[in-house]
Amino acid sequence: MSAQPPSLLKTFDNPNPERDYTIHIDTPEFTCLCPVTGQPDFADIQIEYIPDRLCVELKSLKFYFWSYREQGAYHEAVTNQMLNDLVELLEPRYLRINADFNVRGGLYTGITVEHRDPGWYDSDSVHLP
């Protein structure tokens, strides 16, 4: 797996960099290959991030996800690589990835990885009923 964000990923300027807001992205159709058996692994990938200067362009993110279809990768490795790539590309205030892999041999795998910019502090959120 690449240690650099693939050239597939594109960005655009955050239209409201003065404000903290959360972007939610969900793809229930992620696939990669088991590095041991070569069989396909399927996952629902959820990304939440608070942008700083940049946002990820969604069509490029779709192509980025597709680039994993022919790669063998452990669930933990692929989830952490996505975080690394997106953090390097976007330099977000906050980013979390939840990867929920479908059952294989009677086991489900869920991986959660996070990044927080060292200078960013979460404000108290308002929780409405």
The catalytic position among 13, 26, 32, 41 is 41
**Where residue 117 falls among pLDDT bands split at 50, 70, 90?**
very high
Question: Active-site residue 41, yes or no?
Answer: yes
- Lowest mean per-residue pLDDT among 1-5, 58-62, 113-117, 120-124: 1-5
Q: What is the Cα–Cα distance from 47 to 24, expressed in whole angstroms?
A: 6
Report which of 54, 63, 55, 99 is spatially closest to residue 81, judged by C-alpha positions: 99
- Check if the beta carbon of residue 98 is closer than 8 Å to that of residue 77: no
Where along the chain do its domains lie?
Answer: 22-116
Rounded to 5 degrees, φ, ψ at 113 are -130, 150
What is 22-116's CATH number, 3.90.245.10, 3.40.1080.10, 3.20.20.70, 3.30.1130.10? 3.30.1130.10
Residue 3 pLDDT greater than 50, yes or no: no
The catalytic position among 13, 20, 26, 34 is 34
pLDDT tens-digit map of 61-92: 999 999 999 899 999 999 999 999 999 999 99
- Report in angstroms the alpha-carbon separations of 58 from 40, 47, 65, 78: 24, 12, 11, 19
* pLDDT for the residue numbered 106: 82
Question: Active-site residue 32, yes or no?
Answer: no
Residue 5 pLDDT greater than 60, yes or no: no
Instruction: Output the pTM of the full model.
Output: 0.89
* pLDDT for the residue numbered 13: 98
